[in-house]
Structure 1
Amino acid sequence: MHAVGFDVNGDPGVLRSLDLPAPVPGAGQVLVRVAYAGVNYGELQHVLGDFGPPRGPRGIDVPGLEVSGEVAALGPGVSSLAVGDPVAAYLPDGGGYAEYAVAPAEFTYPLDGTSLRDAGGAALALTTAYGVLVGAARLRAGDTVLIHAAAGGVGSAAAQIARALGATAVYGTVGSAEKADYAKRFGYDAVHLRDAFADRLRDLDVVLDPVGGRTRLASLALLAPFGRLAVYGEAAREPDLTLPVLPFWKSNRSLTGYNIGDLARRAPRTVRGHALSAFALLTSGAIRLDVTAEVPLARAGDALSALASGQTVGKTLLAVTPH
């Protein structure tokens, strides 16, 4: 099968086209013939070495955390799906930048009328958006919400999910005026430039932060009593914060985190529940994922480079065997 992978960490230029044997599904696994693979910051981290050196067969790792496609084969013990079913899948161990990928059956979701293209960037992005809001931030109807990286795939989905779940005000921050114009289409009450939001917002119930660094520190001061700052990334790649604990007590504030990889290992049913709830919103039309770029598999490195440079908005897909 055709795939894109790397045998040494570095910038996205280390990715190269490969011809590899198709994987074989084991017990509780599903083999997916990939139509589309989503492009995510986690894959950039994988290539850069944040998760360690390549550990795959022959020292080669194939990135890719979410795909859509058709079931090609079922491993022993899988009876909830059938060969030929259209599905979306979250791949906690990667492997999506390829013509075939193996996914745990628990993280493989049947598509009920959603196209393979629309679902290609959903299994990770939508699950994360729903999970960070409901699981980590404990969103309640009537909450006011601030979403950093508001124009990205997760951020734009989270804005819609927050609104669908009863948030009364949803604000966003972005890095440029062009991104602000783009983000406004997803129902934000206002979208601020990231270097100016701290002077314009107060008493927020929920802040979602995949950025880190100075943005994270400034967000803490904006929380309402019992407000929650939910961390789910470190895109700024700044040094980690060192925070005293007493101010959280004295100001009635909370800091919480969401990491889908950890949940997949320790609470897989929670991940599946978040995913199914998010997919139900997608199927109903209450939310949508905006695919803004579709590039061939061989250009995966270009797609990750664009993500690294902050050029992208919405969701980028790799067209592997598009339908």
Structure 2
Amino acid sequence: MRAIVISKNGAPEVLEWREVPDLRPGRGEVLIDVAASAVNRADVLQRLGFYNPPPGDSEYPGLECSGVVAEVGADVEHFQVGDRVCALLGGGGYAEQVTVPWQQVMPVPDNVSLTEAAALPEVACTVWSNVFMTARLRRSDTLLVHGGASGVGTMAIQLAKAFGSRVIATAGTAEKLARLRELGADEVINYREEDFAEKAEADVILDIMGAKYLSRNIKALRTGGRLVIIGLQGGISAELDLRMLLNKRAAVHGTTLRSRPTDEKGVIVRGVVDNVWPLVSAGAVRPVIYAEVPLAEAARAHEMLDSGEHVGKILLVR
């Protein structure tokens, strides 16, 4: 088969389309003929040498895919050859085939094409696990989403609105802010021109920036608020005013998804299928797709992501 291989760490051109050894599913695994994958910030970090895959996962980039089940290993439940599926991966999505534990595989939701489904696993699982499972967003809560134009951001806005919460989202251009309003954001903030901590009060904050936003995020939290940090684009180290945290009876959670064991991912995946897929099938939540790029041209897709101009997901299609 063929796959995108990171020949060395560096710029997008290090991503090379090569012939690689064929795959066979192991015990409890499903082999998927990949129809599409998607580009995530983690793929860029892996390309740069800062985010290697967990032990045992594929060295090829790609944290999600859609496709058709080609083969199943022993002890696989619920899936059979020919099923249209999408999957949450530890790696390997930038390839013609991928193997994945069956617990991380999901049926393609109704009213979504096989290609579109590749835009869903990583963002749906990230938002469900962090905003709903960890931060316990309630209907009466306000959610503040940083990086609202990202794949995760566009999913968080739609999903929170579908559950009846109020949503504030940040972005850096007027065009992106307008798009976030179209997706359902009740209030938008241009982080280049305004200080979100002076304008926003939130019960839950979904943050991709880390250190740079830590003190202002705590300031923006309401009493009993929950800050969930899922990215470190603004640095890894910052001072925390514990007095403010205590006075607000607030909580700070730091989470990752890729490195979790299969059983934990399986719990998240089942939660997504039970709670998110019905909303997708009904049209209340949709994949937001910025562009579709041939899988062999993954370097061009990474250049798009690096430019920061996208809203939603960039897909890699076969």
Scaled to the shorter chain, the TM-score interval is over 0.9
> Residue type matched to 1:72 in 2?
A
Offset of 1:307 from its aligned partner? 1.3
Offset of 1:239 from its aligned partner? 4.0
Counterpart of 2:161 in 1: which secondary structure?
Answer: helix
Return 275-284 or 225-234, whichever deviates more.
275-284
**Could you list the runs of 5+ residues in structure 2 that have no partner in the other structure?**
none
Deviations 1:100-136 (A, max 9, x none): 0111100111124232122111111111112211122
Q: In structure 2, do the counterparts of structure 1 residues 201 and 293 end up closer, same or farther at CA, with 3 Å as the change threshold?
A: same
Does the alignment pair 1:156 with 2:154? yes
Counterpart of 1:76 in 2: which secondary structure?
Answer: coil
Contact 2:151/2:311 (<8 A) preserved? yes
Deviations 1:65-117 (A, max 9, x none): 0000000100111131111110000112x000011011110011112423212
Contact 2:204/2:225 (<8 A) preserved? yes
Deviations 1:191-241 (A, max 9, x none): 1111314255243111111122323332210111001111111233x2422
Counterpart of 2:13 in 1: which secondary structure?
Answer: helix
2:254 matched residue in structure 1: 257
Q: 1:204 aligns with which of 202, 217, 220?
A: 202
Deviations 1:238-268 (A, max 9, x none): 2422324343112322111231124345623
- In structure 2, distance between residues paired with 1:269 and 1:61: 21
- In structure 2, distance between residues paired with 1:163 and 1:187: 7
> Residue type matched to 1:16 in 2?
E
> Residue type matched to 2:4 in 1?
V
TM-score, structure 1 normalization: 0.91
- In structure 2, distance between residues paired with 1:242 and 1:163: 33
1:27 matched residue in structure 2: 27
1:309 matched residue in structure 2: 307
Q: 1:106 aligns with which of 96, 99, 103?
A: 103
**Could you list the runs of 5+ residues in structure 1 that have no partner in the other structure?**
none
Contact 2:218/2:245 (<8 A) preserved? no
> Residue type matched to 2:210 in 1?
G
> Residue type matched to 1:10 in 2?
G
2:219 matched residue in structure 1: 221
Counterpart of 1:69 in 2: which secondary structure?
Answer: strand
1:191 matched residue in structure 2: 188
Does the alignment pair 1:15 with 2:12? no
Does the alignment pair 1:179 with 2:173? no
> Residue type matched to 1:181 in 2?
A
Offset of 1:290 from its aligned partner? 1.3
Extract structure 1 runs of 4+ deviating beyond 6 A.
53-57
> Residue type matched to 1:35 in 2?
A
Contact 1:184/1:190 (<8 A) preserved? yes
Q: In structure 2, do the counterparts of structure 1 residues 136 and 302 end up closer, same or farther at CA, with 3 Å as the change threshold?
A: same
Deviations 1:3-32 (A, max 9, x none): 111132222221111111221110010000
2:292 matched residue in structure 1: 294
Contact 2:218/2:244 (<8 A) preserved? no
Counterpart of 2:7 in 1: which secondary structure?
Answer: coil
Q: In structure 2, do the counterparts of structure 1 residues 215 and 309 end up closer, same or farther at CA, with 3 Å as the change threshold?
A: farther
Q: Percent identity?
A: 34
Offset of 1:269 from its aligned partner? 3.5
Contact 1:34/1:67 (<8 A) preserved? yes
Contact 2:214/2:240 (<8 A) preserved? no
Does the alignment pair 1:38 with 2:35? no
Counterpart of 1:116 in 2: which secondary structure?
Answer: coil
1:141 matched residue in structure 2: 139
Offset of 1:184 from its aligned partner? 1.8
Return 14-23 or 212-221, whichever deviates more.
212-221
- Computed over aligned residues only, the root mean square deviation of the Cα atoms, in angstroms, reads 2.1
1:88 matched residue in structure 2: 86
- In structure 1, distance between residues paired with 2:117 and 2:74: 26
> Residue type matched to 2:44 in 1?
L
Offset of 1:147 from its aligned partner? 0.5
- In structure 2, distance between residues paired with 1:202 and 1:151: 18
- In structure 2, distance between residues paired with 1:228 and 1:110: 32
